[in-house]
Structure formats: structure tokens, C-alpha cells
A and B are shown apart, each in its own frame.
Chain A
Amino acid sequence: MAPLEHYLILSAALFTLGVVGVVVRRNAIVVFLCIELMLNGANLAFVAYGSFLDSLDGQLIVFFVMAVAAAEAAIGLAIVVLIYRNRESTDVDDVNLLKL
């Protein structure tokens, strides 16, 4: 079995890819995908620790995260659809009503 570090490095890489995507990309759907990437990076770290420590706690938390991610996907995509209807664009930089 591969050592724990490998899992953790992969997890960190996924998470970092997600972060960079959220910050850099403009398309709301891509930003959304990147958030999923971050969540799954974190999930990988949880299950890796769970497996190495012989504990079910890690898997338990992953189930929670997946449930939340599913709910978030439903609401998030609905918001994206509405933004597109209103603004004819999915560019997050166009959603700036809070600005004066």
C-alpha cells in the first residue's frame, strides 16, 4: 500500500487546483466545478487518514460532505441558471450589484 504522504500530496494537489480555479476562472460553472474539486481533495485526505488510523470517522465525514455537496450543487446550479436568465452571462464578474 502506498504511504500516507502520497495520498496527502494528491489531496493537497487537488485542493490547490480547486483554489486556483475558483480564483482565476470567470465562468460560474467552472468555478462551481473547482469548488467540487476542493471538496473532493478534502474528502481524499479524510478517507486516507481513516484508512491509516483504522477508524470509520473519516468515511463518516466524507458522507456528510457528499450530502452537503449534493445539496450545494442543486442550489448552486439553480443560482447559476437564474443569473444566466437575468444577465445572459455566467461570468461571475458580471454579478456585481453590490458595487456602487
Chain B
Amino acid sequence: MPYIDVDKNLPGIRSLMAFRPETAKPLSDLAEALLRDNTGLSRAERELIATYVSYLNDCFYCHNSHGELAVCYLDGNRELVDAVRKDYRNADISEKLKALLQIAGKVQQGGKSVLPENIENAKRHQATDRDIHDTVLIAAAFCMFNRYVDGLASTAPKDMSSYPLRAKQVAENGYGPHIYSTAQPQASSEEIHA
């Protein structure tokens, strides 16, 4: 059960955003700027970085929500998203994305864990400065989102079939105010603690 009195019809970060719309605005704007941008890194690559960091942070709601967004952008290739979560080094993705996921994993541990050789490796595989910047900030932002979601013990839908439906809505409409004003589609009324 959430630690504070939030709308029980909304799960995860969406219940927290509805509780405090003033902070929801910059949070959703940040997600929009980082995850919906298509310059350098694709939307799928950005959501994969977010999914991987959320998985490392053991945030059930975030790694499933963003994992489904990645599946959506990858035309339904759920196997690839699972492979990135569990062992990206052996996943069928570019060397550049592997180098960026390594940096994201370091950021998850702490800012100072990122080493010059991690950056050099990414640059060697054609990552631009902007790609590296966005990777670091996406990883850092999910260290915030994950802590926000789990630190207030928000709930996560246990009906896994609701995540792809929800992902489709975000893929089509972006991270605007609808994310904290509409209910999870066909979500079960039963919820589990993330």
C-alpha cells in the first residue's frame, strides 16, 4: 500500500504525479525530452536504456512500463528487450548501444563509477557527445524515477496484459498529462506492491 494517500485507481508514478501536479509537469516534460527525441539515439534505444537501469534498480513498474515501450518501438520484439535486461552483452544489438548500456549501468551505481575508458569505448563505436550526454541523463533520471516510485511504495498493476496497452497509448501520445489522468487500460482491480 502506498505510504501516502494517493488515487488508488492510478498505478506507479502516475498516482504520485496526480497527487502533486506541480512536480508532475517537469517530470513528464523531462521524460518527453529524453525518451521521445529521435536525434542520434532512436526512441527504442532510449527506452532500452531506461528499461535496463530500472531493471538494475529492481523497479517492477518502471522496467515493465518502459520495456513495453521498447517492445512497441521494436515492432513487438519482446525477446530482444528481455535479452537486453538480462545480458545485453550477448543481445542482438549494436556495439554502440552495448557501450552506452555499459555507461548507463555505471551511472546506476553512481556518477563516479563512469570511467574514461567507458566513454572512450562508446566514442570508438561512433557514439557522439550528444548520445553520451543523453545516455547519462536518461540513466540518472531513472535513478530518480525508480526511487520516487518505490520510495513511496506506489502500486503496480499485476495484470501484465495491461502494460502493452498502456505502452501503446504513450507511444502514440507521448508523456503528456494524460499519463497521470487516465486509468491503466483494462487493468485488473487487484494490485500488488511494486
Query: Do A and B interact with each other, yes or no?
Result: no
Binding site for A on B (CB under 8 A): none
